Chain A
Amino acid sequence: MPHKTIGTALLLAGGLVLSSTSAFAADPTMLGNTCAGCHGTNGSSVGPATPSIAGLTEDTIVEAMKAYKSGERPSTIMGRIAKGYTDEEFKAMGQFFSKQKMVIYPQSTDAAKAKKGAKLHDKYCEKCHEDGGTVDDEGTSILAGQWMPYLTFSMEDFNAGTREMPKKMKRKLEKMLDKEGQAGLDSLINFYGSQAK
């Protein structure tokens, strides 16, 4: 560590800062490319389950990675991966994926369920998951066009209490489940899966 500090100081003194940062800083594309084997080229997954992460905001990516790293958010594999990086690198990954546009690949959905889901969405979920769940606002992630098995897993984790659900979302969800049961959730997921925009 002291070694490094001196090195940086010398570089600063010598006016070589530019080349040193470009050589040592976390590079968004370099880091982002390592995720593609699982999340798809530039973060758009061709499925059937691993989520697309293209188009999520920088904050969403950073918060998700931090939560995976700390173990606060359950995962099959992301915890093991997130532990390999620094906060600065999370930011760089966030920069990379927030600049990508999510490519949506078609999924087979039940049209009747999707129609019902659209209504339920407007009633219970639209307030936070705006524009039919197409935008990642305030860390909500994108739901529209996301892979349905992944959405199902996320809901399972929320409902099991292994992943913390935002309090207000919990309230809305409980209301929805009270009235519509599991079938309601199934309809919602079909709605998200059916969106191709």
Chain B
Amino acid sequence: MSQITRRDFIKASAASVAAGGLIGVPHIAKAAGSAGKVVVVGGGAGGAIAAKYIRMMDSSIEVTLIEKNPDYHTCFLSNEVLSGERTLDSIRFTYEGLKGHGVKVVQAEATGIDADKKVVKTSAGDFPYDRAVVSPGVSLKYDTIEGYDEAAAEKVPHAWKAGSQTAILRKQLEEMKDGGLVVIAAPPNPFRCPPGPYERASQIAHYLKNNKPKSKILIMDAKGKFSKQGLFTQGWKDLYGYGTDNSIIEWRPVSEEGKATGVNAATRTLISGELDTETKADVLNVIPAQTAGKIAFAAGLTDDSGWCPVNKKTFESTLVGDVHVIGDASIATKMPKSGYSANSQGKVCATAVVAALQGKDMITPSYVNTCYSIVGEDYGISVAAVYRLSEDGKTIAGVKGAGGLTPTTATAAARKREVTYAYSWFKNITHDMFG
């Protein structure tokens, strides 16, 4: 009740500002008590950050986080779980830290948003909001690959959401005989973590090289090129004999029947390309095409592309007012779908939400993305970018002359440093989310 009254009050004040040119609404709005209610859907790379930073910026705002799982497994560094370099437990995080910041954490599944009543509908009831933030990640388009579905993924894992899927794939790799064939079907653009499938191939190659050296990896790709391709190729040459007859890794682009079209889970056979080429694998990892998380569709936040259009300055949905979308699900133009992007967007969005609730103008946003990949022992590479909002407000554009890749001429010592910096990145970004 008091919420609504206060909001109307802010609206009225805002109108009077527009008319009279007064500054100083925030003061008046704050004097009215709690600055409002925010409901965040999804406690991952984007949502955990938005929830925590809203509280850090204004602790009078009530923040409720709706997350369907009791804990969170990061996709980041999950490829090291596949190679046995780290445990599954080392990528698991709980929500206790967020509770410490005064975030109310509710374990429930969000099923929809009633934008008129301003409530998030969940399996644990309705949660009213002044502003909602939605960061549900991706959903997998199983139906783009014949014979593939959630049940088949128990035998033919995607491992594109970390947790039990990661454990299944690791177990299969451990059980595979030396001389086996691992097939990774890489998805079409756009998808979560563009370098991910290739880092995965690298990590699995690292494991095979040391444990099952007669084995091979075949990447069947729906694309003709991929992220950090030059650097990965160089790394594969340096470490895994890429390009020679003895290469552990082979890559088949779309032009060579690379695009997965079907799966026979029982026999672990991949069907691909225009000729329905069949490839029988010992371990089959199929990463299907992706689209925004299911709740984004239910809440009317997606457009024809299957992703969520947003105001690039505030991440407010252009389709549903007072609801913001961040992370993989959002259309953030030049920013890739990565954990660092989601983190950066979460903070820009938190700033916008707090400004809106305080009746202030949103300030100039600033965004960063970085993505480290560990190609093998002491072999780290990275891509970085600094972004600004374009003048027309339509694009989050990389600053020209900045960012880019680890130089191909980097010394072995520098690549080794990048591994320790990649681990630091992991520790700091997860601490930023959950600490």
Interface set of A (CB-CB < 8 Å, partner B):
16, 18-19, 22-27, 29-31, 33-41, 45-50, 76-77, 80-85, 89, 147, 149, 153, 156
> Are B370 and A46 in contact, with the CB atoms below 8 A?
no
What are 29 A-B interface contacts by the 8 Å CB criterion? A19-B361, A23-B363, A29-B351, A30-B351, A30-B363, A30-B364, A33-B347, A35-B368, A37-B428, A37-B429, A38-B425, A41-B431, A41-B435, A46-B428, A46-B435, A47-B424, A47-B427, A49-B424, A76-B406, A76-B410, A76-B418, A77-B384, A80-B402, A80-B403, A81-B370, A81-B403, A83-B401, A84-B387, A147-B424
Known contacts A16-B21, A22-B361, A34-B368; 8 further A-B pairs (Cβ under 8 A): A19-B361, A33-B344, A34-B366, A41-B428, A48-B427, A49-B417, A77-B370, A83-B401
With a CB–CB cut-off of 8 A, which chain A residues contact B385?
84
Query: Which B329-358 residues have C-beta < 8 A from chain A?
Result: 340, 343-344, 347-348, 351
> Are A46 and B427 in contact, with the CB atoms below 8 A?
yes
> Are A38 and B424 in contact, with the CB atoms below 8 A?
yes
Query: Which B1-38 residues have C-beta < 8 A from chain A?
Result: 21, 23
Once bound together, how far apart are the Cα atoms of A24 and B313, in whole Å?
12
> Are A85 and B364 in contact, with the CB atoms below 8 A?
no
With a CB–CB cut-off of 8 A, which chain A residues contact B424?
38, 45-50, 147
Closest B residue by C-beta to A16: B21
With a CB–CB cut-off of 8 A, which chain B residues contact A27?
363-364, 366
With a CB–CB cut-off of 8 A, which chain A residues contact B399?
83-85
> Are A23 and B361 in contact, with the CB atoms below 8 A?
yes
Once bound together, how far apart are the Cα atoms of A1 and B418, in whole Å?
39
Given A34-B344, A80-B384, A83-B399, answer yes or no on A39-B363 (Cβ-Cβ < 8 Å): no
Interface set of B (CB-CB < 8 Å, partner A):
21, 23, 53, 340, 343-344, 347-348, 351, 361-368, 370, 382, 384-387, 399, 401-404, 406, 410, 413-414, 417-418, 420-421, 423-425, 427-429, 431-432, 435
Q: Which of A22, A49, A149 has the most CB of B within 10 A?
A: A49
> Are A76 and B417 in contact, with the CB atoms below 8 A?
yes
Once bound together, how far apart are the Cα atoms of A35 and B384, in whole Å?
12
> Are B366 and A30 in contact, with the CB atoms below 8 A?
yes
Sort A-B residue pairs by CB-CB distance and give the 7 closest, nearest first. Answer: A84-B386, A84-B402, A50-B424, A83-B402, A49-B420, A84-B399, A34-B368
**Which of the residues B363, B364, B387, B425 comes within 8 Å of A50, measured between beta carbons?**
B425
> Are B418 and A37 in contact, with the CB atoms below 8 A?
no
> Are B428 and A50 in contact, with the CB atoms below 8 A?
yes
Once bound together, how far apart are the Cα atoms of A77 and B399, in whole Å?
15
Return A13 CB to nearest CB of chain B, in Å: 14
With a CB–CB cut-off of 8 A, which chain A residues contact B53?
33
With a CB–CB cut-off of 8 A, which chain A residues contact B21?
16
With a CB–CB cut-off of 8 A, which chain A residues contact B403?
80-81, 83-84
With a CB–CB cut-off of 8 A, which chain B residues contact A30?
347-348, 351, 363-366
Closest B residue by C-beta to A81: B384
With a CB–CB cut-off of 8 A, which chain A residues contact B368?
34-35, 37, 81, 84
Return A37 CB to nearest CB of chain B, in Å: 5
Once bound together, how far apart are the Cα atoms of A25 and B347, in whole Å?
18
Once bound together, how far apart are the Cα atoms of A13 and B420, in whole Å?
53
Return A183 CB to nearest CB of chain B, in Å: 21
Return A146 CB to nearest CB of chain B, in Å: 13
Closest A residue by C-beta to B404: A80
> Are B364 and A24 in contact, with the CB atoms below 8 A?
yes
Once bound together, how far apart are the Cα atoms of A172 and B228, in whole Å?
43
Q: Which of A19, A38, A89 has the most CB of B within 10 A?
A: A38
> Are A36 and B417 in contact, with the CB atoms below 8 A?
no
> Are A40 and B432 in contact, with the CB atoms below 8 A?
yes
> Are A45 and B370 in contact, with the CB atoms below 8 A?
no
